[in-house]
Amino acid sequence: MADYKMDKIDLKIVKMLQENSKITNLDLSKKIGLSPAPTLERVKKLEQSGIIQSYHAKVDSSAIGLNVKTFVLVSLAWQKPNALDNFIRKVKAVPEITECYIITGDADFLLKIVCKGYTYFEKIAL
């Protein structure tokens, strides 16, 4: 089912599940205008095709003591041997780095870092 073609109803389902993944099938079916059985079948097809990969809890980071969120631009010394592999290894070893993006412009990467406070942020070394 890798070639599953989404229609307008599927797009509505995905949007509704992104807004509230805990919505009941009955409520979802009412909001998209289908009966519960075909709604559930569509959700299952979206999951089986890989369009819906998983469901997640959105956590308030400050509620668990992670009060500093920052973005860091990184430029890589590409001339050094294994520069990219070493960088990726180091990024994976720092749990406070929650996201890493390749970017264009003056820097090569954008890192999102989430930690308890500025003293913790200052101790993060790449």
Residues 41-98 have pLDDT tens digits of 999 999 999 999 999 888 899 899 999 999 999 999 999 999 999 999 999 999 999 9
**High-pLDDT (> 70) share of the chain, %:** 97
- All CATH 3.30.70.920 domain ranges in the chain, comma separated: 61-123
pTM: 0.67
pLDDT for 58 equals 86
Q: Among 72, 73, 60, which residue's Cα sits nearest to residue 96?
A: 72
**In the structure, what pLDDT confidence band is assigned to residue 34 with cuts at 50, 70 and 90?**
very high
Residue 102 β-bridge partners: 109
The average pLDDT across 11-29 equals 96
Pick the CATH number of 61-123 from 3.30.499.10, 3.30.420.40, 3.40.190.10, 3.30.70.920: 3.30.70.920
pLDDT of residue 2: 56
Q: How far apart are CA 90 and CA 47, in angstroms?
A: 33
- The top-level CATH class assigned to 8-48 is mainly alpha
